[in-house]
Amino acid sequence: MSGACNDPKTFKSDLKPIWCPGCGDFGVLQAVYRALAAIGRPTHEIAFISGIGCSSRIPGYTTVYGFNTVHGRALPIAQGLKTANPDLLVLVAGGDGDGFSIGGGHVPHAIRRNHDLTYIVMDNQIYGLTKGQLSPTTPKGETTVTSPYGSFEEPVNPLLYCLAYGAGYVAQGTPADLPGLTALIEEGLRYPGFAFINIQSPCVTYGDSEMQMKEQRAALRPLLAEGHDGSDRIKGMDLAQQYGRTLHTGVFYRNPTPPPTYDQLVRERQADQGKDQPDRRRALDRFAVRH
Amino acid sequence: MSGACNDPKTFKSDLKPIWCPGCGDFGVLQAVYRALAAIGRPTHEIAFISGIGCSSRIPGYTTVYGFNTVHGRALPIAQGLKTANPDLLVLVAGGDGDGFSIGGGHVPHAIRRNHDLTYIVMDNQIYGLTKGQLSPTTPKGETTVTSPYGSFEEPVNPLLYCLAYGAGYVAQGTPADLPGLTALIEEGLRYPGFAFINIQSPCVTYGDSEMQMKEQRAALRPLLAEGHDGSDRIKGMDLAQQYGRTLHTGVFYRNPTPPPTYDQLVRERQADQGKDQPDRRRALDRFAVRH
Amino acid sequence: MINDICIGMAGSGGDGIVAAGEALLNSAAAAGYHGMLTKSFGPQIRGGESSCRLRISTQPVLNPGSELDVAVALNWDDFLKFGSELPTDARSIVIYEESAKTPDGKLPLKIAPGEAIAVPIAAIARAHGGDRAKNTVVLGLLSAWFGLAPESILAGMRKRLKKKGPEVIAAAEQAFQAGADHARANPLKTARLMAPPAARQGVWLADGNDLTAAAAIVAGCDFFGGYPITPSTEIMQTLSRDIWAYGGSLLQCEDEIAGIGACVGASFGGKRAMTATSGPGMSLKTEMLGLATIAELPLVVVNVQRGGPATGLPTKLEQADLFQACYSGHGDAVRPVLAPTSVADAFRVTVDAFNIAEEFQTPVIVLSDQEISQRKETLEPIDTSTVQLVERRRPTPEDLAGGYKRFKLTPDGISPISHPGLAGGEYLAAGIEHNESGAPASGGANHQRMTEKRIGKFAPLLKRRELFLVEGDADADLGIISWGSSAGICREAVQTVRQEGLKVRILVPYLLYPVAEEIFSDFLKGLTKGLVVEQSYQGQLYRILRSFITVPNGVRPYCRAGANPFRPSEIVAQIRALAQRSVP
Amino acid sequence: MINDICIGMAGSGGDGIVAAGEALLNSAAAAGYHGMLTKSFGPQIRGGESSCRLRISTQPVLNPGSELDVAVALNWDDFLKFGSELPTDARSIVIYEESAKTPDGKLPLKIAPGEAIAVPIAAIARAHGGDRAKNTVVLGLLSAWFGLAPESILAGMRKRLKKKGPEVIAAAEQAFQAGADHARANPLKTARLMAPPAARQGVWLADGNDLTAAAAIVAGCDFFGGYPITPSTEIMQTLSRDIWAYGGSLLQCEDEIAGIGACVGASFGGKRAMTATSGPGMSLKTEMLGLATIAELPLVVVNVQRGGPATGLPTKLEQADLFQACYSGHGDAVRPVLAPTSVADAFRVTVDAFNIAEEFQTPVIVLSDQEISQRKETLEPIDTSTVQLVERRRPTPEDLAGGYKRFKLTPDGISPISHPGLAGGEYLAAGIEHNESGAPASGGANHQRMTEKRIGKFAPLLKRRELFLVEGDADADLGIISWGSSAGICREAVQTVRQEGLKVRILVPYLLYPVAEEIFSDFLKGLTKGLVVEQSYQGQLYRILRSFITVPNGVRPYCRAGANPFRPSEIVAQIRALAQRSVP
Ligand SMILES: Cc1ncc(C[n+]2csc(CCOP(=O)(O)OP(=O)(O)O)c2C)c(N)n1
Ligand SMILES: Cc1ncc(C[n+]2csc(CCOP(=O)(O)OP(=O)(O)O)c2C)c(N)n1
Ligand code: SF4
Ligand code: SF4
Ligand SMILES: [Mg+2]
Ligand SMILES: [Mg+2]
């Protein structure tokens, strides 16, 4: 890899995205390019881990180390990577299904461990890649190919869940506001700890109308404009309750005094336990009962 | 099975519990016997599903239909059972590890679907059956056999999580207050929808002191006494934040206007779709293109 | 006059080439032909390349065919992307969009076709309704050149467009006629007109997933729990529309573990339950399969195989999940594995699976595959009135009277099973080893007995010759074994070489596991050479057979990785070569 | 003088019988004996019955022994619960608590023992420190009757009790002496004193899990991700204490999927990673194993086998996860499977596993078992200075210069692998099939090549004769194959019958899969009869061998379900019988 690390084009790979024309994920990809350029770290120091889904294809379109893993398991893989290699900048991405259905069991644990990861979910309220099934964020009553008479279940609330899990940075953006989304991702990347960004990224093929971007732009309700600066977690939770009804963008919560990350704690323990610089070859010595 | 359905003894099986002397789960078992007796349904109309753990042994000590399944999967199994057999009374039980570690991915979905299940978690902040490892509710910094220098992670908050997931009935009890616990379980069983009861059930072997019951009795803080009647969900969430610090007992939240359960919606749809009483043997007719 | 035609078409997503294939198959079926249609798409969800292969015949067909008789390319880029899926040879007629002509007029094909015809498809379409009419023009061309059911095509078109009004219908008819006119004005070098179909009573048309779902309904399926995954999703989609009407229910779960878990729960509750998935989901269901095995709960698990490992080739055919189906779980366990070989089979195999599950109180795995699941095929009408449903063995009043023993050691290893709701049948089901009553038991002698029960109970299954198909010459020394969608290819190949006078026989197992040693050994008796044909790199059935029966040295695996399906012509060539070879 | 003694003891949880066994083994080891200790408990977490089996010998021992030479029962109820784990015969000396005498004085044993001695153990204990001293009294009895290292026992006791002060030590010494006095006052009918140990330089003592964890450290393990499960948990426990000091890290994950997922991530990051689990966890890891296979990431997965299926028998020995280890995932995949046969082996097998994983860029499965994992065994000191660590093949500057190809098709199928942090090595890893660069690719030809690469790369592994142990007579016509903890039993049985003059040889594979056809075939050459001995109902290794090599008809599986381990005497009897039988 070559090119300036603060040029978004540096992060663009030769693989041509195969998303449908008009898919929101194109905009998310642009925002990622720009946010990475704003951070300015070289491509080889960045890893981008995803699950499976239309959205999860995103790492392949970048020039950083990418890992398009299996459905729903991006977070555990990212945690192992980051714990063992704390110097890397690690992004995680996926869809609403990937993150909150099959992968939903991993989210609280990644958050409560407070790994220094930035997790972006392209929430389109549908299973795109498998062609239009009910997703965990599909509104109740909606018809899809697996809910032909309307769904029975209340949708998941990614924002409220992540706040309840204790995430230090919780935000929502949309590719309809590209500068706003870029700023949120950049801030997430800079936040020292687990950062969650929910992105209302329309699926124009199975979910939303072709006009979705325009509609979103009209419906945008920036939190800052509503007087919410993200410092009050309870207020963030209250606002998050409107998920699915109001298109709030911005930061729901940002911990003003971020606690140490998992990776920091690991390094401290390594330093502490390893101060006598033990030799791996002597790890068996303790088994001797007679010398 | 014989015996009066409102006699707790009716629900006691011949299998002798193999819990450690002093284990909190004995008290939970007593409360279950009593709550079932208060409900008064015959044993064969009741199913009791659990995962794996010390706590998950509980169905075997009752005379109802029991299913001691695999670790962390009691809820999906219970949902299938209940959806296909809506007339049964279905209880689900397990440990903190079973429910919020390996099984944590299933909880939000059971709740948002609003199956009419009563889920009791014996939360002892430890892995009992496997002899003392870190559990998802173990307090941060605690030493266990897998965290010999203290744990790095913030504990899970079962109460807050379940409230965020939208459960219609969320309560906490302890075997140190047996009548209180019995009442909570009974109310959970009667609640039409998903009911979650977190039980502070001490593990005297790997976690708590032998005096734990006594200590708990002293520390009890009934919510009612604090003026919380359970009707305000946000207040419930606020109180739930004290999980792990204050031993609140009682109902954090009870939905005063319970929405229809999944099972009700299923029945309605069956009635609706099946009104022409189609014949299974004609299910292939639609494939004919030439008669 | 020809009796069998194989047409492959490719274009861009918007070209509607697959819709044309569907229309053609529907019309041909309505006219009384046999046929099948397979589709293939690029990785894009929308746009990108798409193709289909259509085979139409006056006789029943067993597979999508060999090299194409007719290839239709709306542009070469898209056509070539499908490589081995749309193979042409020196006999093929290639019809392509005139404007896609290369400057030197050469076709980008390795083998020059028998006839290559450039047609201004786009131009004709633009003159009659625009770009979107291209596929209708193609239909006109094909129907005129090959005599393919024009009346039926027009009738189908009218029906499909009815809602859009008479103008739209008229435009479509014009486009169709324009194509037909072009064909008539430019006759083929050698005419190839399809013979008319034989008079037939009824013709059905279905794809494997849809038929599997409907078969489940006939088989009494009360509950479906699952999670979407290509290429199995349509089973759940169909049931999510249909199951309610029969008093059943369905849960789209949060993942595959929950999907099968819900089925385990429903089955514990006495209901007939099914889940469907593909490789990755199957891998996740492994633990739960073990639970159903030790708790002896009936359950049908459909695995629509795709290319693996991991995400692998989600939309391509492979038969490499057999090892997993037979051996995936920890501990000693046997689970019956069945495989359909065609769409039509999907019915009987699904019903068999439910019956075997209920009779033997076991999970049953159905190994369908991407090809069967999504290809559309004409079927003879299925008489569902003769279907027999087997119920699980219920406890008698005596069983319930004196302390019901859920896991009673009976002579045939099958214990009467109660379920919640049944008074007196209360018991503890568990994943832990248990005694006859269901209480946990960790002793070795009990474990040996219970393992014996759980595995020994399948003995009668191994005698069921109706779960095997044997065709061909009893006195042959050359034999073929094949399963799943490869079997239909091999059956046709065997028919072909037998017509040439070779002596060959073929065994097609619907029951793959446990291995019916006697039935396989009987088949192999007298064979000195042969092939076990499967679409997997490792030749998984071959390996499994060897581990139970003595396979003659001359019987060898013929196999390769997926996404590059066998063709009857290829197997024919293999058999011919083998027949000539003397095996020591 | 005797050279080998096998002692079994049982009591209630509080009796400290296992602690006594541990103390005796420690003391014997410190004195220079060889030995091993296995423990067994009832299902209760606390209280309930507990037992141990202790074998002490002047020679190296390979297994916990056959029928007990000495049985100690603190009460009969508890003793009898262990059934086949504590077998006595007509030669055994049975020592039991006097107050547990039945009214008629009859012992509740099927075979009358050689000598039965009632001892007022509880009474002696009460006179010297109370009920808790019972196990110390037992130590006194055993040391005096059998000459078992009294000095060493006393020294150990003093060390252990040091913190509790001199009074406690004095009381313990008294209890011990009281036991010894009782023994001296009541000599055995026939004296059975242990011969003194040979002079030895060093003696080590370890159990399998603990040694596996330490071996991982030596093997350069940087990362462990896992979830607790019996009987593997101690591996994680040990590493959670030790790994940090070496700059490594550990995640106790939320489940087994996350456990192996974290390892996949760490390995992607260039680190040597390991996870450990047992059957149920293994079943959950199936999908992720497929991902590591297709992404060609090194990874060690330890499966400490227990009884299955499902929860099965969590604390009992079984060797029935071999099918799963070899065949669990969907798609065509091969993953090397290794198995230690003893605690000592756990070291070399763990190091081999890491090296094979790194060299071949593959997940490697280590099949340990409940017995090996938790038995304590004396070892010869291991010289770690000679251990060679293999590193994964890193890209050269040339590889990185012109468009790095992560999955380059090389002659040996192994491609240089980069990792995040390495400039110029950026690539897309994926679970989807890919071309050499890592870009998704769905064509059949590419899939065939890549599958060939992923499976073909293991060819050199099949030549590694050091991964197999062959002992015995090259000219024998009778042979034994056995693996895992059963192998140690068979090796002793083979030694025994060879001393009787029978000609036998034995093959013990450490590498179980892929099947090293040549090595197995070489071993089988000339054999007309034999046994494949394994603790599984299905005889899984036997089946797998058959599917790749021709196993002579006379070589049969000898196997049964778990929790009822083989004994050397049983295998000896089988070999004798087989030797006499003429095989057609
Ligand atoms: C274990 C497993 N189960 C199911 C699938 C099939 N699958 C692939 S992507 C997907 C869901 C996609 O939805 P989402 O995560 O919301 O992503 P989107 O395509 O909408 O961006 C599913 C069900 C799979 N690949 N693996
Ligand atoms: C798939 C799987 N993983 C791990 C285990 C081992 N295991 C059994 S119970 C348990 C945890 C028990 O803790 P908890 O759920 O809190 O129940 P408790 O014993 O404390 O009541 C574990 C890890 C298992 N049986 N299955
Ligand atoms: S299907 Fe939907 S989510 Fe997927 S690429 Fe198309 S528009 Fe985007
Ligand atoms: S280990 Fe703990 S949780 Fe388990 S039975 Fe004993 S006291 Fe109860
Ligand atoms: Mg989505
Ligand atoms: Mg617990």
- Token duo for residue A253: 């919560």
Specify if D11 maps to a domain. yes
pLDDT band at A3 (very low <50, low <70, confident <90, very high): low
> Does the pLDDT value for residue B256 go beyond 90?
yes
> Does the pLDDT value for residue C489 go beyond 60?
yes
C-alpha B258: how far from chain center: 18
Give me the residue label for tokens 């893989």: A77
The chains found to touch C (3+ Cβ pairs under 8 angstroms) are A, B, D
Number of domains within chain C: 4
Q: In DSSP terms, which residues pair with C37 in a beta bridge?
A: C54, C376
Contacts with B, A 41-70, CB within 8 Å: none
- In this structure, the answer to whether residues C443 and C525 fall within a common structural domain is no
Q: What is the dihedral sign for C-alpha B210, B214, B217, B219?
A: negative
What is chain D's mean pLDDT, rounded? 95
- Ligand nearest to C-alpha A104: 1
According to DSSP, the β-strands at D34-41 and D49-57 are antiparallel
Over the stretch A166-206, which tens digit does the pLDDT of each residue have?
Answer: 999 999 999 999 999 999 999 999 999 999 999 999 999 99
> Does the pLDDT value for residue B114 go beyond 90?
yes
- In this structure, the answer to whether residues C12 and C58 fall within a common structural domain is yes
Over the stretch B123-132, which tens digit does the pLDDT of each residue have?
Answer: 999 999 999 9
Q: Which amino acid is at B155?
A: P
The chains found to touch D (3+ Cβ pairs under 8 angstroms) are A, B, C
What is chain C's mean pLDDT, rounded? 95
DSSP structure class, residue A281: G
Cβ–ligand 1 distance for A204 under 6 Å, the answer: no
Helices D233-242, D208-218: axis angle to 10 degrees equals 40
**Among D356, D386, D416, where does a domain finish?**
D386
B2 and chain A in contact, CB less than 8 A? no
pLDDT recorded at residue C200? 85
Residue A227: CB atoms within 10 A of its CB come to 7
Specify if D196 maps to a domain. no
| CB distance A156 to A136 below 8 Å | yes
Nearest-CB residue to C249 (from B69, B106, B266): B266
User: Across residues C503-512, what is the average pLDDT?
Assistant: 98
> Does the pLDDT value for residue D51 go beyond 80?
yes
Over the stretch D464-522, which tens digit does the pLDDT of each residue have?
Answer: 999 999 999 999 999 999 999 999 999 999 999 999 999 999 999 999 999 999 999 99
User: Across residues A117-143, what is the average pLDDT?
Assistant: 97
Write down all domains in chain A, each with its CATH number in brackets: 8-260 (3.40.50.970)
Min Cα distance B107 → chain C (Å) is 10
Specify if C562 maps to a domain. yes
Q: Please name which of C507, C583, C513, C584 lies closest in space to residue C547, comparing C-alpha atoms.
A: C513
- In this structure, the answer to whether residues D457 and D470 fall within a common structural domain is no
CATH of the domain at C268: 3.40.50.970
Over the stretch B139-153, which tens digit does the pLDDT of each residue have?
Answer: 999 999 999 999 999
Over the stretch B82-110, which tens digit does the pLDDT of each residue have?
Answer: 999 999 999 999 999 999 999 999 999 99
User: Across residues A151-161, what is the average pLDDT?
Assistant: 97
Non-local CB neighbours of C414 within 8 Å, separated by 6+ positions:
C359, C360, C361, C393, C457
Over the stretch A196-229, which tens digit does the pLDDT of each residue have?
Answer: 999 999 999 998 777 888 889 999 999 999 999 9
- Backbone phi, psi, residue C270, to 5°: 95, 5
The chains found to touch B (3+ Cβ pairs under 8 angstroms) are A, C, D
Specify if C308 maps to a domain. yes
Distance (angstroms) between ligand 2 centre and the Cα of B129 equals 6
How far is residue B4 from each of residues B10, B42, B65, C380, measured CA to CA in Å?
Answer: 6, 8, 17, 58
- In this structure, the answer to whether residues C398 and C529 fall within a common structural domain is no
> Which of C148-162, C319-333, D217-231, D264-278 is least confident?
C148-162
Nearest-CB residue to D252 (from B104, B131, B134): B134
- In this structure, the answer to whether residues D311 and D431 fall within a common structural domain is no
User: Across residues D87-104, what is the average pLDDT?
Assistant: 91
Over the stretch B194-237, which tens digit does the pLDDT of each residue have?
Answer: 999 999 999 999 987 778 888 899 999 999 999 999 999 989 99
pLDDT recorded at residue D104? 82
Nearest-CB residue to D236 (from B101, B129, B146): B146
- In this structure, the answer to whether residues D83 and D180 fall within a common structural domain is yes
Q: Please name which of B150, B153, B191, B161 lies closest in space to residue B99, comparing C-alpha atoms.
A: B161
CA–CA gap between residue C501 and residue D528 (Å, rounded): 43
Minimum CA distance residue for ligand 2 atom 6? D229
> Does the pLDDT value for residue D45 go beyond 90?
no
| CB distance C56 to C194 below 8 Å | yes
Specify if C61 maps to a domain. yes
CA–CA gap between residue D198 and residue C210 (Å, rounded): 75
Mutate to test the interface with B, among D210, D239, D255, D306 (most CBs of B within 10 A): D255
Non-local CB neighbours of B257 within 8 Å, separated by 6+ positions:
none
B216 and chain A in contact, CB less than 8 A? no
Non-local CB neighbours of B111 within 8 Å, separated by 6+ positions:
B162, B165, B166, B167, B194, B196
pLDDT band at D428 (very low <50, low <70, confident <90, very high): very high
ipTM: 0.97
Non-local CB neighbours of C325 within 8 Å, separated by 6+ positions:
C282, C303, C335, C337, C365, C367, C512, C513
User: Across residues A47-66, what is the average pLDDT?
Assistant: 98
A235 and chain B in contact, CB less than 8 A? no
pLDDT recorded at residue D197? 93
Q: In DSSP terms, which residues pair with D105 in a beta bridge?
A: none
User: Across residues D101-117, what is the average pLDDT?
Assistant: 89
- In this structure, the answer to whether residues C458 and C472 fall within a common structural domain is no
> Does the pLDDT value for residue C584 go beyond 70?
no
Over the stretch A95-128, which tens digit does the pLDDT of each residue have?
Answer: 999 999 999 999 999 999 999 999 999 999 999 9
**Among C463, C482, C508, where does a domain finish?**
C463
User: Across residues A43-71, what is the average pLDDT?
Assistant: 98
pLDDT recorded at residue B95? 98
> Does the pLDDT value for residue C131 go beyond 90?
no
Non-local CB neighbours of C203 within 8 Å, separated by 6+ positions:
B288, B289, B290, C29, C30, C32, C378, C379, C381
User: Across residues C468-490, what is the average pLDDT?
Assistant: 98
Cβ–ligand 1 distance for A127 under 6 Å, the answer: yes
Contacts with C, A 6-25, CB within 8 Å: 18-21
**Among D351, D370, D386, where does a domain finish?**
D386
> Does the pLDDT value for residue A242 go beyond 50?
yes
| CB distance C192 to C93 below 8 Å | yes
Specify if C191 maps to a domain. no
Which position has the higher pLDDT, C83 or C176?
C176
pLDDT band at C583 (very low <50, low <70, confident <90, very high): low
Min Cα distance C392 → chain B (Å) is 17
A76 and chain C in contact, CB less than 8 A? no
SS3 C425: coil
Non-local CB neighbours of B3 within 8 Å, separated by 6+ positions:
B9, B10
Nearest-CB residue to A20 (from C45, C254, C255): C45
- Token duo for residue B216: 């708990």
User: Across residues C38-66, what is the average pLDDT?
Assistant: 91
Distance (angstroms) between ligand 6 centre and the Cα of B119 equals 15
Q: Which amino acid is at D373?
A: S
- In this structure, the answer to whether residues C291 and C220 fall within a common structural domain is yes
pLDDT recorded at residue C46? 84
**Structural domain span for residue D478:** 466-580
pLDDT band at A1 (very low <50, low <70, confident <90, very high): very low
- Backbone phi, psi, residue B93, to 5°: -140, 155
Q: Please name which of C234, C238, C249 lies closest in space to residue B80, comparing C-alpha atoms.
A: C249
Q: In DSSP terms, which residues pair with D534 in a beta bridge?
A: D559
| Cis bond before residue A21 (omega within 30° of 0) | no
D13 and chain B in contact, CB less than 8 A? no
According to DSSP, the β-strands at C273-277 and D249-252 are unpaired
- Token duo for residue B220: 């009890």
Distance (angstroms) between ligand 2 centre and the Cα of B155 equals 17
Over the stretch C144-193, which tens digit does the pLDDT of each residue have?
Answer: 999 998 999 999 999 999 999 999 999 999 999 999 999 999 999 988 99
- In this structure, the answer to whether residues C214 and C178 fall within a common structural domain is no
- Helix residue ranges per DSSP H, A191-232: 212-219
CATH of the domain at D94: 3.40.920.10
Q: Which residues of A touch D247 (CB under 8 A)?
A: 270, 274
Contacts with D, A 219-248, CB within 8 Å: none
CA–CA gap between residue D383 and residue D379 (Å, rounded): 12
Cβ–ligand 3 distance for A204 under 6 Å, the answer: yes
Specify if D149 maps to a domain. yes
Min Cα distance A10 → chain B (Å) is 37
Cβ–ligand 1 distance for A185 under 6 Å, the answer: no
CA–CA gap between residue D60 and residue A161 (Å, rounded): 59
pLDDT recorded at residue B1? 43
- In this structure, the answer to whether residues C502 and C455 fall within a common structural domain is no
pLDDT recorded at residue A201? 97
CATH of the domain at D559: 3.40.50.920
pLDDT band at B3 (very low <50, low <70, confident <90, very high): low
Neighbour order of strands in the sheet with D478-482: D468-472, D505-509, D478-482, D529-534, D555-559
- In this structure, the answer to whether residues D46 and D173 fall within a common structural domain is yes
Across the interface, whether the CB atoms of C324 and D327 are under 8 A apart is answered yes
- In this structure, the answer to whether residues C516 and C528 fall within a common structural domain is yes
Specify if C328 maps to a domain. yes
